Amino acid sequence: MKWFSEVKPTLALTLLFALFAAGAGASFETTGRLRDSAGWVAHTQEVMGVLGLTMFGLKDAESAQRAYLLSESPAHLASYRDAVARVNELVPRLAGLVADNPAQQQRLAALQPLVAQRLAILQQTVTERGAGPGAPLRLEEGDAVMEGVRAQVQAMNAVERGLLEERISTSRRDYWIAMAAAALAAFLGMVLTLSAAWMLRRDQRRQATAHARLAEQKEWFSTTLSSIGDAVIVVDPQARVAFMNGVAQDLTGWTMAQSTGQPMAEIFNIVNETTRAPAVNPVDQVLETGLIQGLANHTVLIARDGREYPIDDSAAPIRGPEGQLRGVVIVFRDITERKRAEEALQRADRSKDEFLAMLAHELRNPLAPIRTATEILRRLGAADPVMQKAREIIDRQVQHMARLVDDLLDISRITRGMITLHMQVLDMRRVLAHAVETVRPLLDSRQQVLEMQLADGELLVNGDNVRLTQVFTNLLNNAAKYTQEGGRIQLSAVREGKDLRVVVRDNGVGLTPELLPHVFDVFAQGSRTIDRTQGGLGIGLTVVRRLLTLHSGSVQAASAGPGQGAEFTVTLPAATGTGQPVLAGNVPVGGALVARRVLVVDDNVDFAESLALALQLDGHRTQVAHDGKAAIALAPGFAPEVVLLDIGLPQLDGYQVVRRLRELPQTRDAVFIALTGYGDAEHRRRTREAGFDHHLLKPVEPAALNSLLRSLP
């Protein structure tokens, strides 16, 4: 349709032009015809004229002859001769003139002899008179011929006159036709011209409007570009600057006049914030890939005068209607303010966290004397059971508070990224065993049953030993606390695809639907029938979730409802380890203090306890046994990595203990350190043969022990 409406004017114009051309053609033709018919009129008039002249010529000849005959004057003779010559000239001319008219030609054919005769007669008389006077004038003879001539001429004249009338009327008609045609042609010409003029005007007006609109749009865009707060640079496909808006000029320090046509790299000097190495120019990337390049981080723009701004930028290709690359537009902004705001926010966040940490630490101070005081009260002995109860209450609450503070500190540190995880390939069985062992006393005191269903096969994870143990201890603790006495707790672990799934299920008080979605939030509330003073739910699960997140794992809570128990499912990505337990190869070495599980076996109770406590100074987790049997019983649950074994144990001596422990899977690869008063070669050989890895002399040099522990792979 558009095509048609565009063609219509051209079509109309062509049509008009055709009409005009036709009109002009008609005009030419009718004018030609007019000329012809006018020519015929003239022709007829000429014939008539010649006929007249011929008659006059003859008459003149007659007169001259008469005069000569009478006067014999040579002048008259000359006149006579002139007249005759004239007639002789005219007659052939007449013949030519009537060539188109056969009838006239016939008449002329009749006329010509008569004229000749008359002339002959005249000539005769003249000749005779010339010969001598007295010749007879033969006038009457000549008159008769003249009459004949006159009659013929009149007849011819009459015909010509008729023709003349006819031809005049034709000519007049043709004149009007020609006029009409010319008028029409002129009219068409005018219409054509006017139409053309009109179309031209219309086109001009359209163009003017289009230009105006274009100019307006340009103006609008230009204003917009100048008004936006961001800097805009447009380059051509050869990365030369084509346009810079005001902000870009400000930031780069180049005016548009100076930079147009320059390669972009000249005016857009960007480096990496920290390394100061030249940053990749997003324009180059766009030119290479043809794709929009996103924001680059840590870029600093160096202006012409050396000022620096951190910027955020993005570049996009400019494409023409056929998709061809016409240039690149880059938009960037000074993010100094934003960075400042971000930093301020981070600082505020950090100070909040630091405040929390500081607060938690401070809270520990007043708790200490309270506990000490209750201990004093306990030792003073309370005869009064009410006093006893009161003291116990204080004691428990202090315990609760202390645990809350611990959890709070943990969360704060996890948030601030201050938790360092010592990642290793761990056997989940060991981790769970240890957690169970920690919770065992609580389970026993509540007469609860723990069922363990650990799948066969590899159950390995990458994780921090201490933290993962903390996670499961927490979950098991909760299960025990929130289940009635005599209740049942199930612990299962299974490999599912790429993950390990550990489930702690209890048949205790369960969770209400309202609490369920918030159970991992800090200080989640919930009604429970069990004494809440046993405490810990407030923050513990938050810590659990965050620790698992740090391990790329997750935890889900589920409960069928109040009184129907609860189920916590932990998912962790499985590790494909060497299958070796903790002490094999992957552990960071070299002076770094790695927390170990250390079993101290010595029948000197105080020594053992004290040593264990001292080892805790280095962050180790310790268990103490005072004889071989106890050590062997403890070993599977605790799964110690290091065993400090006194040789001189009662009943089962150290050699036997080490042999037995080497047989257990959990301690097969532990480091066994013999503690003995004998340091001679023989004894050293015996300990080595028994399976000990190291041999320390009592009294143990703590420095030696520590460096030994540190040097363990």
Partner 1 sequence: MSDMGNGGATGYRVLVVDDNADAAESLGMLLEMMGNQAHIAHDGLQALEMAAALKPDIVLLDIGLPGLNGHDTARRMRADSGTADAVLVALTGWGEAEDRRRSREAGFDYHLVKPVQIEDLEKILAHPVRAAV
The binding site for partner 1 (CB under 8 A) comprises 360-373, 375-376, 379-380, 398, 402, 413, 593, 595, 604-607, 609-614, 616-619, 698-703
Q: Are 465 and 426 in contact (CB under 8 A)?
A: yes
Sign for the pseudo-dihedral over CA of 176, 182, 188, 193: negative
Least distance from partner 1 to the Cβ atom of residue 547, Å = 15
Give CA–CA dist 637/648, Å, rounded.
24
Q: Are 223 and 51 a contacting pair, CB within 8 Å? A: no
Nearer to partner 1, 376 or 522 (CB): 376
- Closest to partner 1 by CB, 563 vs 702, is 702
Sign of the Cα torsion 156, 161, 166, 167 reads positive
Min dist. Cβ of residue 678 to partner 1 (A): 17
Cβ closer to partner 1: 371 or 629?
371
Euclidean distance between CA atoms 232 and 330, whole angstroms:
6
| Nearer residue to partner 1 within complex by CB, 323 or 699 | 699
Q: How far is the CB of 244 from partner 1 (least distance, A)?
A: 53
CB of 700 to partner 1, least distance (A): 5
Between 15 and 593, CB nearer to partner 1: 593
Residue 550 CB, nearest approach to partner 1 (Å): 16
Give the number of residues written for the chain: 713
> At its nearest, how many Å lie between partner 1 and the CB of residue 542?
19
Query: Looking at beta carbons only, is 316 or 370 nearer to partner 1?
Result: 370
Distant-in-sequence, close-in-space partners of 425: CB < 8 Å, separation ≥ 6: 460, 461, 462, 575, 577, 578, 580, 582, 584, 586
Nearest distance, CB of residue 365 and partner 1, angstroms: 6
Nearer to partner 1, 137 or 595 (CB): 595
* Interatomic CA distance for residues 525 and 531, integer angstroms: 14
CB of 466 to partner 1, least distance (A): 10
Instruction: Between 290 and 588, name the residue whose CB sits nearer to partner 1.
Output: 588
User: CB-wise, 430 or 621, nearer to partner 1?
Assistant: 621
Cα–Cα distances (Å) from 287 to 268, 278, 315, 326, 464, in that order, read 16, 18, 10, 10, 47
Whether 165 and 44 have beta carbons less than 8 Å apart is answered as no
Coil vs helix vs strand at 592: coil
Instruction: Provide the minimum distance between the beta carbon of 596 and partner 1 in the complex, in angstroms, as a whole number.
Output: 12
Q: In what order do the strands lie in the sheet with 554-558?
A: 449-454, 488-496, 499-506, 566-573, 554-558
Contact (Cβ atoms closer than 8 angstroms) between residue 525 and residue 568? no
Please, which residue, 584 or 595, has the CB nearer to partner 1? 595
Please, which residue, 151 or 373, has the CB nearer to partner 1?
373
Q: In whole angstroms, how close is the CB of 368 to partner 1 at the nearest point? A: 4
Cis peptide leading into residue 517 (ω within 30°)? no
Residue 520 backbone dihedrals phi, psi, to 5 degrees: -95, 0
The secondary structure of residue 293, as a DSSP letter, is: B
Shortest Cβ 595–partner 1 spacing (Å): 7
| C-beta pairs of 694-701 under 8 Å, 24+ apart in sequence | 696/644, 700/611, 700/675
Smaller CB distance to partner 1: residue 481 or 620? 620
How far apart are alpha carbons 697 and 643 in whole angstroms?
15
Question: Closer CB to partner 1, residue 283 or residue 360?
Answer: 360
Nearer to partner 1, 146 or 543 (CB): 543
At position 247, the amino acid (one-letter code) is V
| Shortest Å distance, C-beta 447 to partner 1 | 24
Handedness of CA 140, 145, 150, 155 (dihedral sign): positive
DSSP string of 213-266? HHHHHHHHHHHHHHHSSSEEEEE-TTSBEEEE-HHHHHHHS--HHHHTTSBHHH
Q: How far apart are CA 322 and CA 617, in angstroms?
A: 74
**Residue with Cβ nearer partner 1 (2 or 379):** 379
Q: How far apart, in whole angstroms, are the C-alpha atoms of residue 525 and residue 436? A: 27
CA distance 205 to 436: 92
Q: Which is closer to partner 1, CB of 618 or CB of 653?
A: 618
Taking the CA atoms of residue 413, residue 414, residue 420 and residue 426 in that order, the dihedral angle to the nearest 10 degrees is 140
In degrees, rounded to 5, the angle at the alpha carbon of residue 327 between the alpha carbons of residues 321 and 314 is 110
Distance in Å, CB of 233 to partner 1, minimum: 50
Which CB atom, from 131 or from 703, has the smaller least distance to partner 1?
Answer: 703
Residue type at position 30: T
How many Å is the Cα radius of gyration of the chain? Answer: 67
CB 538, min distance to partner 1, A: 18
Cα three-residue angle 103-106-111, rounded to 5 degrees:
125
Question: Quick check: helix, strand or coil at residue 381?
Answer: coil
Cβ of residue 613: shortest distance to partner 1, in angstroms?
Answer: 5
CA distance 618 to 620: 6
To partner 1, the closest distance from the beta carbon of 689 in angstroms equals: 27
> What is the nearest approach in angstroms of partner 1 to the Cβ of residue 352?
19
Pairs from 345-354 (Cβ < 8 Å, separation ≥ 24): 350/416, 353/412, 353/415, 353/416, 354/416
